[in-house]
Amino acid sequence: MNILVPFDIQPVSERAVRATLELFGDREDVHVVATHISDAKADPARIAASEIESLGDNYEASVEAEVRLIEGDPDSRAVIRKAITDIVASEDIDLVILGYESKSLFDRVLESDTTERLLQKHEIPVLLVP
């Protein structure tokens, strides 16, 4: 089973990675791909990727953390959403685990939802971690 955990350098991402390892870390057949999507290989992202891989040392599942370079504005939700869907399509991902922070009604109305698009386009299970 291949699990994608997109991460940024925020507490919500760390919770998503930890939840992934708690839920699936005892399985040898699980490969966790934690991916930071950026327009530059920033030091904080590389440090976070290294920390994620070291978290995986305590589990049976294999954990690979990477910083993936993209073209376009890394702060754009559309660019990030496309990068995630491209990874899902190209890497045989079985499950996506996303950190989730509740938003105001105004924010929810104005932004398109990555989770909803993954479910519609790829029919892949998505687990949200608060």
pLDDT at 29 over 50: yes
pTM for the predicted model, two decimal places: 0.83
Place of tokens 């930071």: 36
- Extract the tokens encoding 68: 């993936």
Strands 2-6 and 126-129: unpaired
Is the pLDDT higher at 121 or at 57? 57
How far apart are alpha carbons 44 and 52 in whole angstroms?
Answer: 12
Q: How many percent of the chain have pLDDT more than 90?
A: 32
pLDDT of residue 110: 44
pLDDT at 105 over 60: no
In which band, very low, low, confident or very high, does the pLDDT at 19 lie, cut at 50, 70 and 90?
very high
In which band, very low, low, confident or very high, does the pLDDT at 57 lie, cut at 50, 70 and 90?
very high
pLDDT at 84 over 60: yes
How far apart are alpha carbons 38 and 3 in whole angstroms?
Answer: 20
How far apart are alpha carbons 71 and 94 in whole angstroms?
Answer: 25
Who's near 130: CB < 8 A, 6+ residues apart? Answer: 12, 15, 100, 101, 102
In which band, very low, low, confident or very high, does the pLDDT at 44 lie, cut at 50, 70 and 90?
confident
